[in-house]
Amino acid sequence: MSSVRKKLIAGNWKMNTNRSSAIQLASHVVASSVGSDNANLLICVPAIHLADVSKLVANSKVVLGAQDGHWLESGAFTGELSMSMLKDYQVEYVLVGHSERREMFADDNQRVALKFEAALKNGLTPILCIGETLQQREQSETLNVLISQCEAVVEQVGIQAFENACVAYEPIWAIGTGKTASPEQAQEVHNELRAWFEKQDSTIAAGLQILYGGSMNAGNAKELLSQADIDGGLIGGASLKADDFLDIYSAAG
Ligand code: PGA
């Protein structure tokens, strides 16, 4: 099953870089990345750098992503960006529901579902980020939490919409902490998630890219990415160093 799914190695720069370091980092990634039949390379940059970086990635193997977008098309939403504004800058992917947005910016399941829908309507591929807290894991709530996060989106857009979307499993306790889920722990969750999607639609489940995120780095990527149901990575810290990020890309085969 896994052989049909191409891997996606996605960098999430978060609120890091300034204009010159963003240009430098993106240029380095573009210059050093060779195309691969097995993996695609994506960088989700701060919105203010989209204009610069979109020029750098044009005609390269690197794809451009954004870290968030509003669910409405326009209006009185100070500080927000719509999905169509992102699309204007050659953005192809957008993260929705990253745990930092859920925890700090009130992105609940309903908003995340609306953002997911708005991304698709504007021709962007949403990457639905889901994940449990340490406390939820310790209370054996992991799968319930992940399923309810996915269910809210399926209720909004229908299961077929996942044909043009990805999921990123990011245990919150592993993000930016240096504590990675072990390959076995991650594979177990990915497998259970895929089984849940399979119950909704087996074709969608078979094609769905489920990325792992949470302290993935050049040292642990190969083992994580070799798991049958791990179809890529969403990488924060290690995506800020071009060589580390490219090593992860190489580890994807
Ligand atoms: P990390 O972040 O790789 O720094 O743990 C991952 C993420 O939050 O997407």
Sequence letter at residue 57: V
Instruction: Specify if 250 maps to a domain.
Output: no
pLDDT of residue 246: 96
Ligand 1 pocket residue status of 175, Cβ below 6 Å:
yes
Instruction: Specify if 182 maps to a domain.
Output: yes
Q: Which tens digits make up the pLDDT trace of 73-113? A: 999 999 999 999 999 999 999 999 999 999 999 999 999 99
Give the number of the atom of ligand 1 that is nearest the alpha carbon of residue 177.
5
Note if the pTM is more than 0.85.
yes
CA of 15 from ligand 1 middle (Å) equals 12
Active site residues: 98, 170
Instruction: Specify if 152 maps to a domain.
Output: yes
CA distance 197 to 206: 9
Residue nearest to atom 7 of ligand 1 (CA): 236
CA of 167 from ligand 1 middle (Å) equals 14
Give the CATH number of the domain where residue 56 resides. 3.20.20.70
The tally of domains found in the chain comes to 1
Instruction: Specify if 251 maps to a domain.
Output: no
Q: Which tens digits make up the pLDDT trace of 4-38? A: 799 999 999 999 999 999 999 999 999 988 878 88
CA distance 185 to 224: 10
Residue among 13, 15, 224, 235 whose CB has most ligand 1 atoms within 8 A, to mutate = 235
Helix (H) / strand (E) containing 169? strand 166-169
Instruction: Specify if 246 maps to a domain.
Output: no
Per the document, the length of the chain is 253
Q: Which domain does 228 fall in, by range?
A: 2-240
Instruction: Specify if 109 maps to a domain.
Output: yes
The token pair that represents 38 in the structure block? 């097995």
Residue among 94, 133, 170 whose CB has most ligand 1 atoms within 8 A, to mutate = 170
Instruction: Specify if 252 maps to a domain.
Output: no
Helix (H, G, I), strand (E, B) or coil at 237: helix
Give the number of the atom of ligand 1 that is nearest the alpha carbon of residue 235.
3
